[in-house]
Chain A
Amino acid sequence: MHFTRPKPFLFDPSESLTMSTTTVSTATATRAEHSPLAWTPQPTGFIHDVLTVAIRELRPLIREPFTLVFGMMQPLFFLGLFGPLLVRTSGLGEAATLQWFVPGIIVMSVLFGTSTTGANLLQDITTGAHERMLVTPLSRSSLVVGRALKEIVPVIGQAVIIVAVSTPFGFEPHAASLLGIVLLAVFGVGLGALSYALAMVAGDNPYVFWMVQQSVLFPLLLLSGMLLPLDDAPGWMTVLADLNPLTYLVDAERALFAGNAGADALYGAIASAVMAGIGLGVAVKGINKEAR
């Protein structure tokens, strides 16, 4: 291989000859003067940064929309292989049982989808892509807020698919379902943000992420009355269920998908908003701590 040695890229001799012994540049100039660079990128706004990150995260989904369905395999199995059993045992008939069961399955798909989304960040951390983005001028918090906001799209996509699949079997979505989807999206942003925070804590140890994710996901899921009614649950379980934010979301979704925007919906809205607030707060705090 032959390399040609470049011309030395140093200092303009004509300039230096005219200079005498000392030239002082002060450190208190404007940015352009202060930095030795002729051009530097201008600051971008927080919204620009959040959108940049969210769009990056959405691109693989847009390129391959079918991946959306892979993420909801479990919920679809529950719908197809658990639903029929429930119809038998409930004795309410197919339509009424689905009306109760489908909102729970939609929440389940949101749960699976958004709680595992940190795995994407985990991969970017292990490969170095996250590090690359940390060196760009993007604001720290936009790196998690953008990722969390992107969750809105798969949440809506999955809810629509499940409704479309179950409607022919007698499930009847009402107009208030749209509000139900909004609550799901808000809740999904919060849970997604927590998943990213967990990925940052796990860092180079993916098993930490999966261990914590699994051991939080299943108790939350089973204690929310998502699969079976908790009416006959033992007392201690009812107490735990009442402490579970997911319980309120599931109840709200059942009410809204049945067309009732009442107290249950309000509690669900509060639970979702609290979830989003906590999730985003924890994630933003996490990334600001990890990287200045």
Chain B
Amino acid sequence: MRFSGIWRETRARTAVVGEAWVVNGRNGDVRADSGQYLAGMLGRVRLMINAQGLARTFQTSNYSTVEAVRGIDLHVAEGELVAFLGPNGAGKSTTLRMLTTLLPPTSGTATVAGFDIASDPGEVRRCIGYVGQGDGAGHMQRVRDELITQGRCYGIGAAESRHRADELLEQLQLTEQANQKVMTLSGGQKRRLDVALGLVHRPGLLFLDEPSTGLDPQNRANLWSHILRLREETGMTIFLTTHYLDEADAMAERVMVMDRGEVIADDTADGLKADLAARSDLAQPTLDDVFLDLTGRSLRDSFMPAVAAAA
């Protein structure tokens, strides 16, 4: 486990009290290089995600199980944008599915937006938005209809839902496809619709599972500028997974790397890069270098996920 930067620092100086973290330390500018903090009190930090020992094991057959997530701790403060990275099969989507109440954890607890995912899943769902890795829109539905339905699902009025649908169609450049069946959309158009569906109710906490996969460069840039604008306006907290490391580097205040069900790094992108520079002969490592250093260079096709004999 390699923790560095502000989060290691913060961890050492904090205590969990109720739903809030009480931080008695120096104020950290997360953009600053690892180890450089501005002086000052941090005061109260509200945790939007607070998970302890979250684990999930899947039964794959009578004889074998897969430990997809192995007891991870997650702490995401209000307003943060955290990128959750890791190789295929690392357990990112499984983690997101647990935090969004879709999948009960095998062990561990978590509060999301202040509510316990096990005892208060309904309240959690009211507070969050989720864009899954698969298609979110029904294939037989029309694009605009599905956006309107989504608004209605969150109790938004019919007229307001229509207005919001049109607004999002325009912002994500889907107006021309408004009356098309979802089935007939291109891959990138479908992906933009999925993200639009997650934004309809302007959630305070947004989970995005590979939102930009399959988008061309223009649409990626447009998507991000839209999400960041929304964030400026609403103070939305964002927890996202991506395989585009340049995105994570440019946008996320914090990067977490997961591998084989465990969180193996948790720091700012700059912190991780500085850390690698200090340990290796790379003068200016990129986040790609960091990622490969942490997770290894070998292809994962040969990697068998941990298989444990069923008890």
Interface residues, chain A, with chain B CB atoms under 8 Å away: 1-6, 8-11, 13, 15-27, 31, 34-44, 48-49, 52, 55-56, 59-60, 63, 120, 123-124, 127-129, 131-138, 291-292
Contacts and interface: CB of A to CB of B under 8 A. Distances in A.
Contacts, number: 205
Contacts of B78: 36
A31 B197 CA distance: 25
Interface string B111-136: 00111001001110111101011111
A6 B228 CA distance: 8
A133 B113 CA distance: 19
Nearest to B179: A63
A5 B204 CA distance: 21
Interface string B45-67: 11110000000000000000000
A131 B201 CA distance: 17
B114 to A, nearest CB: 4
B299 interface: no
Contacts of B202: 39
Contact of B46 (A36, A128, A137): A36
Lowest 9 CB-CB distances: which A-B pairs, in order? A128-B134, A16-B43, A3-B250, A37-B204, A136-B153, A19-B43, A132-B136, A23-B44, A9-B79
B153 A59 contact: no
A229 B138 CA distance: 42
Interface string B1-35: 00000000000000001111010100101110000
A63 B114 contact: no
Contacts of B128: 135
29 contacts: A6-B228, A6-B231, A8-B31, A9-B79, A9-B80, A10-B30, A11-B27, A11-B44, A16-B43, A16-B44, A17-B41, A19-B44, A23-B20, A25-B19, A25-B46, A35-B113, A35-B114, A35-B115, A37-B114, A37-B204, A120-B140, A127-B135, A127-B137, A132-B137, A132-B197, A133-B153, A138-B153, A292-B101, A292-B104
Nearest to A38: B204
Given A5-B250, A24-B17, A36-B204, A43 B155 contact: yes
Interface string B133-147: 111111111100110
Contact of B137 (A31, A55, A129): A129
B155 A129 contact: no
B75 interface: no
Contacts of B307: none
Contacts of B155: 41-44, 48, 137
Contacts of A2: 221
A6 B30 contact: no
A59 B150 CA distance: 14
A20 B25 CA distance: 10
Nearest to B134: A128
B251 A128 contact: no
A1 B244 CA distance: 12
Interface in B194-244: 194, 197, 201-202, 204-205, 217, 220-221, 224, 228, 231-232, 235
Interface string B150-166: 10111110000000000
A128 B20 contact: no
A49 to B, nearest CB: 8
A212 B233 CA distance: 51
Contacts of B140: 60, 120, 123
Contacts of A133: 153
B138 A34 contact: no
A27 B17 CA distance: 9
Contact of A59 (B48, B100, B127, B145): B145
Contacts of A129: 135-139, 141
B247 interface: yes
A23 B43 contact: yes
A43 B153 CA distance: 10
Contact of B41 (A4, A20, A40): A20
A27 B81 CA distance: 24
B138 A36 contact: no
Contacts of B139: 123, 127, 129
Nearest to B17: A24
A40 B220 contact: no
Given A17-B43, A24-B20, A127-B134, 8 more contacts: A8-B31, A10-B30, A27-B114, A35-B115, A36-B114, A56-B145, A60-B142, A292-B104
A186 B213 CA distance: 45
A52 B125 contact: no
Contacts of B127: 35, 37, 40
Contacts of B220: 1
